[in-house]
Structure 1
Amino acid sequence: MGDDMKHAIDAGSFRDRDGRIYIVGNRIVRGLSEAALADYRKLAATKFFERFSKESKLVATRELPAGEVPLPAHEQSLWAGFLEHDRVPVISYAYEWTFGMLRDAAVLTLDLLEAAIQADMTLKDATPYNVQFVAGKPVFIDIPSFETLQPGSTWAGYRQFCEMFLFPLLLQAYKGVDIQPMMRSRIDGVGVQTAARLFGARDRFRKGVFAHVWLQSKLDSRYGATRKDVKSELKSAGFGKELILANVRKTRKLVAGLSWGGEGSEWGGYEEFHNYSESDHALKEQFVEESVRDSGAQTVWDIGANTGQFSRIAARHADQVLAMDIDHFAVERMYRKNKEAGLENILPLVQNVCDPSPNWGWRNRERSDLATRAKPDLVLCLALIHHVVITANVPLDEFVAWLASVTDQLVIEFVSRDDDKVKTLLRNKEDKYDDYHRDRLESALAEHYDIRKTRALESGNRFIYWCVASG
């Protein structure tokens, strides 16, 4: 194909020296080294690859004939061959996932690893960045992670699996420590020595802690800097794939059995305990449905989504809904409910609108912010503005300006000072929020938007607006 094809190199794909990802329009193309190409061809001939692909647990992938590679000649010369993958609608990261999402991604990784080992292949790494959520389910996207299993090899990705999957899950399940701050504070997850310090002596008796955390930390302290050729010693000692399989199966059983009940959640029961009358709730639902329908929006953000009631309404009309809330368990409940109902176009994310996912990693480009990954056509901002202005101390004008920078269409609900929720927020604070008034909101909106439709709820304390960018 022509050398004038416009392409970009994915900034997060540099860590694998045997490949690189190119973005060409809406196409995802991956260059492979000679060794990686040989491993892919071996993988593509296995029965487990066919089975997991049919089950949509592996991203759809094909090898591109030389004449179909949409890259300039100098880029094509760098690689032995090229794959094309189906594009993931929205990229998300483990520090935005719930406990259940991370656990499901871990189980998929272990299932793939077990099947690969049985076919004399393995996964060379074990990171949640190899998994994305598509149509509500985890899908493994890093196909070149599969490589030939060498005789005497161990599970090369075991420590990475522990630090990026198992330790965060154990800490959430056993200690109630939220996974998101841990995963965002260190791009490689929770280090083994950190995990060992976070678990006390009594915790060693809990399933998985002694073997995977405490014992591994001791071995790491003793042999982490050894000069011994451990791989050669294991091979000569007859270390075989049955031992790896036994470890993988035991780890899968441990991970699948972990649970978390949402202790400390403030909004996990919002649907059951909100302070709307039934008639006001129906009016709000109708307004949201009509606004999303008439907007023609394909991608919708629902910020402050709680357990996703209005996200599900938006999903009737939009192609993709990103449903975000700061309350981990509220989002976890949403994930579970969507999973049970088979809802495929809602992506639940744990996200603090006042401390959102940043550009991060190497050169601040390895992981990107959410607006870069999935710019919305419309944002739902329902019963949130009082929390942003009063709790997070963000000036009202600045919040509206940020919304205008993100989206051309907005559905926003204003909760007045007479509402019980606002009175509660102000009860033990000095009221310095002169900007928190309805007329100030309407003035701020008018700077960026035309207000297409307004509805006052029957309580007289809440007002909803559908706004479209001016001009």
Structure 2
Amino acid sequence: MDLQTSFDKGSFKDREGRVFTSGGRIFRTLSQSAFDRMEVLEKDSRLQRLIDSRALIPSHLTTAKEVGFDPKLYGEVIMEHEKVPVVTYPYEWSFDMLRDAALLTLNLLESCLEMGLILKDATPFNILLHKNKMVFIDTLSIDYYTEGRPWEGYSQFCREFLFPLMLTAYKGVEFQSWLRGELKGLKASDLSHLFSWFDNFRKGVFTHVHLQAWLERSFARKDVAIRNSFNQQNYSKGQLLRIVKNLRRIIKTMRYKPSNSEWIRYDRENPYDASEEEKKRNFVQKAFAESTLHTIVDLGSNIGQYSAETNSSIKTIIAIDKDPACINHFYHRCKEWNTKAFYPVVVDLLSPTPAMGWGLQERQSLFERLKGDGFLALALVHHICIGGNVPLLEFVKLLKSFGNYGVVEWVGKEDKMVQRMLRNRSDIFQDYTWEYFQSCLEEHFQLSKVLEIEKGSRRLCIVQAK
């Protein structure tokens, strides 16, 4: 009996094997060359050594019949991977998330070279956050090393890892929108124009940016294939290892210095009374204390100070905030915890990640990927509805799309933050009232409990789908 399956639309370009799901499990078809290679690497334990190092996602070969698939459709032998429950993309990561993914790629490449292997490519799309740690998921990217051949993934590593990190570390420009605008990464020629003469003294700029840009322009003026030119060179394994060490040294010295993060500052310099904050924290904890939820989505999470303290039955927390500095801070916190799986995501809900790539199916939209049983939406409504001109009813519909149970905080016009937002603009929000917000909530949820805080300027609400 053949089981119901669904092929991942983002893996169609890989000629060696397509990813598909069935019954909540992750599998991959294998071409003959991929099977031959994976069989050898599994038998001689090289694959297991990389898995044991926690750099590579646990995977193993199995027969299609053993799992219940038709061998005529999927091949005699397939590969099963450990499932990563939440998929996020590099343009949704913070600086240190991308930095850790870059270092993981270099460390894995070094381990591969020491075992007579190499990585065929070097894209951050081969990496996911899993169990609060970055892990490499594209097992078929591991290939045999051929003495004298260059690392073909070098240019891709620069475009999709090194250059975005340089943009943020050296120029103070957040990389997320740049990567989202170009799935193949930043071009050396574009980045070269952004760096001043002084930047040439920064580590890696002259060698990996300006020199690479010059080579691109040089080869573009000649009828010569860059790949063929490089293949004629004889690159020893020692040279490749020196390149790896050089890139790792550059990336390790990079530091994230957010130029202006009002929300980290807001958390540290919170203008509200400590007793009111304690009421809010206790309300949130009690709201989720007896729930049977498994995954909650923290919308406008800041540094995750509320969702991180929910009860132990909630195993997965997806934290969404538009401030990269907040998400970077939260990422460092979640690496220290092992009781829950945390997925920090840099996303502006007023401009959420769209579907992208070939046929708008290669990379899924935010709403296709990030789902939960419940949600947390604290101090968010005024930013969406006043800051973004979104009607209150549409905001409530957004909440419903992330879960059937949750806590949402109402922030009225008498609140200090809202007054600050309206200070230099006309108040066109006549329907921005608690009464109308309550009616919007009750159109989609049951409003089971309301707690007034901050002298009534804010209300905490527990809602559950009808």
The normalised TM-score by structure 1 is 0.94
Gaps of 5+ in 1: none
- Counterpart-to-counterpart distance in 1, 2:391 and 2:228: 62
Residue 50 of structure 2 aligns with which residue? 52
For residues 236-259 of structure 1, give each alpha carbon's deviation from its aligned partner in whole angstroms, at most 9, with x where no partner exists.
653211111110111011112211
Among candidates 161, 168, 191, match of residue 165 of structure 1:
161
Q: Is the 8 A contact 1:91 1:132 kept in 2?
A: yes
Amino acid at match of 1:171: L
Residue 90 of structure 1 aligns with which residue? 86
For residues 177-218 of structure 1, give each alpha carbon's deviation from its aligned partner in whole angstroms, at most 9, with x where no partner exists.
111101110111112222222222321221111001000000
Residue 21 of structure 1 aligns with which residue? 19
Among candidates 281, 287, 308, match of residue 285 of structure 1:
281
- Aligned to 1:139, what secondary structure does the other structure show? strand
Residue 369 of structure 2 aligns with which residue? 373
Relative to structure 1, is the Cα distance of residues 181 and 70 closer, same or farther in structure 2, using a 3 angstrom cutoff?
farther
For residues 44-86 of structure 1, give each alpha carbon's deviation from its aligned partner in whole angstroms, at most 9, with x where no partner exists.
3566643331233211101003432443343224xx6310001
Q: Is the 8 A contact 1:46 1:119 kept in 2?
A: no
Among candidates 70, 73, 78, match of residue 72 of structure 1:
70
1:168 Cα deviation (Å)? 0.2
- Counterpart-to-counterpart distance in 1, 2:95 and 2:77: 37
Equivalences for residues 14-163 of structure 1 within 5 A: 14-45=12-43, 49-77=47-75, 81-163=77-159
Among candidates 374, 379, 383, match of residue 383 of structure 1:
379
Residue 192 of structure 2 aligns with which residue? 196
Relative to structure 1, is the Cα distance of residues 298 and 340 closer, same or farther in structure 2, using a 3 angstrom cutoff?
closer
1:314 Cα deviation (Å)? 2.7
- Counterpart-to-counterpart distance in 2, 1:459 and 1:67: 65
- Aligned to 1:267, what secondary structure does the other structure show? helix
1:226 Cα deviation (Å)? 5.3
- Aligned to 1:424, what secondary structure does the other structure show? helix
How many residues align? The count is 466
- Aligned to 2:263, what secondary structure does the other structure show? coil
- Counterpart-to-counterpart distance in 2, 1:8 and 1:381: 32
CA RMSD of aligned residues (A): 1.9
Gaps of 5+ in 2: none
Equivalences for residues 72-471 of structure 1 within 5 A: 72-77=70-75, 81-224=77-220, 228=224, 237-314=233-310, 316-341=312-337, 344-470=340-466
Q: Is the 8 A contact 1:14 1:20 kept in 2?
A: yes
- Aligned to 1:63, what secondary structure does the other structure show? strand
Relative to structure 1, is the Cα distance of residues 315 and 243 closer, same or farther in structure 2, using a 3 angstrom cutoff?
farther
The normalised TM-score by structure 2 is 0.95
Between the aligned residues of both structures, percent identity stands at 36
Relative to structure 1, is the Cα distance of residues 48 and 195 closer, same or farther in structure 2, using a 3 angstrom cutoff?
farther
- Counterpart-to-counterpart distance in 1, 2:292 and 2:365: 24
- Aligned to 1:28, what secondary structure does the other structure show? strand
- Counterpart-to-counterpart distance in 2, 1:469 and 1:181: 34
Q: Is the 8 A contact 2:172 2:257 kept in 1?
A: no
- Counterpart-to-counterpart distance in 1, 2:421 and 2:91: 28
- Counterpart-to-counterpart distance in 2, 1:218 and 1:343: 49
Q: Is the 8 A contact 2:149 2:235 kept in 1?
A: yes
Amino acid at match of 1:288: V
- Counterpart-to-counterpart distance in 2, 1:422 and 1:161: 44
Amino acid at match of 1:273: E
